[in-house]
Structure 1
């Protein structure tokens, strides 16, 4: 099979609203760090000079949110148990893994303006693809926003879904909706502007808040969607990291495209 990487990198040099901090201990520094840890926790004396070249292993420490890079939002992210209609919302470590390795279909929303795309457009895009999503399929939105990853524009110029569009997909039996944008909702500035004009709170985070009524997950910040050979006919693997009690977990999302028998695996990054 072909394995196509659909994940955006966690990059401390890229622009983020919540900046990523990446601290690296060199192999030599790692040796001294290990010596200190062994002494403190186990009472074992260890001289780094005994190691070849005085080096052990490097150590990377990242400081970031669980919503940095390509990640899966869990129902617990959308609101508290008091405001959900299906009981206690599950955290990322409690969700069934078979939601996250499924056939997928991509809807091309690159012609949609910044804002919230509605159910009528989603229906039209599904008809254009020629594939009706089946229960538990993963639906992916290709907005084109992934091309701006690492810049401020990535967080301001994209289309999301309104509440009716999310409900339409959930009515089909979908449990995971993905997007290459920063959020499944419209950009914050767009939502706030429409709220101030109308006074309608329903324009504020309707895609996320749909998860207070119906249990489902989002994959946000997918990447490299142009590399897919077709809008369907592949499986998407987006197994989330098992962060206990968390409202989201990072994922290395990849498309698995079946190749003719006997072909060697090809990994495309």
Structure 2
């Protein structure tokens, strides 16, 4: 079985609207930390220099949001209430949602905007695939080529209301994208709202989660490495963060060779 990594790297050197803080602990600092912990918690005296080479285990502290890097939005992210009941947090969702047949839709465009239902139907027809419940649909927008730069957060394509509900109507519970958001870029959404004064254009893919229980995988990568639009399995188990609206995932595609 071949494994293709579909996840972005969490890197404090990359540009983020919510910056990442990375504080490394060296092996020498690890020894000092262990000696201090032994004294504080167990009243044991273990000098740092007594450890081999005066070193112990290093460690890293990252400060970041649950929506940094490749992550899964839980229903609780979309709103405090839902028409179907109480929205579940990421730790409450069944794991079988995040392991299933993958469907890759190439929706790359030179004009960042919205992706409508007609385009989804056209791409499905082009690859000869009929959606079935449990399919995990991955949108290849090409946005991951700008990851780590400010343009990644403003130049991409996202689903509109009809496209989102079209996928959900066919039993899809997990929709992924290599873009920053499953919705269109913020400037496009706000400009459309100002022009139309229509509140339904405001983040329709996310707001759909207040009426339909589903998850989004945002900030995928490497979708162009998939050899075919179908015939692979997606594994994207979320980190079990208690009461959180999202959780990081190391998303991969599994290809049986």
Q: TM-score range by the shorter chain?
A: over 0.9
1:239 corresponds to: 237
Q: How far apart, CA to CA, are the structure 2 residues paired with 1:86 and 1:44?
A: 55
| 1:113-156 deviation per Cα after TM superposition (whole angstroms, max 9, x unaligned) | 31221111111111111111210110010000011100111100
Q: Partner residue of 2:11?
A: 11
Q: In the aligned structure 1, how far is the partner of 2:255 from the partner of 2:213?
A: 28
Q: Residues 107-118 of structure 1: matches in 2 within 5 Å?
A: 107-111=105-109, 113-118=111-116
Q: Which moved more, 1:112-121 or 1:24-33?
A: 112-121
For 2:110 and 2:198, the matched residues in 1 are separated by 22
* Cα distance in 2, alignment partners of residues 89 and 42 from structure 1: 42
Match of 2:56 in 1: 56
SS for the counterpart of 1:53 is: helix
Deviations 1:166-220 (A, max 9, x none): 1110010000000000000001111011111111111111000000001000000
| Structure 1 Cα separation of the partners of residues 3 and 176 of structure 2 | 18
Match of residue 36 from structure 1? 36
Give TM-score scaled by structure 1 length: 0.94
Indicate the larger mover: 111-120 or 166-175.
111-120
Q: 1 CA distance for matches of 2:222 and 2:44?
A: 48
Residue aligning to 2:47? 47
Distance in 1 separating the partners of 2:137 and 2:111:
20
TM-score between both structures, scaled by the size of structure 2: 0.98
- How far residue 34 of structure 1 moved from its aligned partner, in angstroms, is 1.4
In 2, distance between residues paired with 1:97 and 1:187? 30
Does structure 2 conserve the Cα–Cα contact (< 8 Å) formed by 1:148 and 1:154? yes
CA distance in 1, matches of 2:57, 2:70: 27
| Alignment match, 2:248 | 250
2:223 to 218, 222, 225: 225
1:1-269 aligned within 5 A: 1-81=1-81, 84-111=82-109, 113-259=111-257
Deviation string 1:234-257 (CA, Å, 9 cap, x unpaired) is 000000000011000000000000
The runs of 5 or more residues in structure 2 that have no matched partner are none
Three-state SS of the structure 2 residue aligned to 1:111 is coil
User: Counterpart of 1:140 in 2: which secondary structure?
Assistant: strand
For the aligned residue pairs, the C-alpha RMSD in angstroms reads 0.9
Which aligned segments of 4 or more residues in structure 1 are displaced greater than 6 angstroms? none
Say whether the 8 Å CA contact 1:112–1:159 is kept in structure 2.
no
Structure 1 unpaired stretches of 5+: 260-269
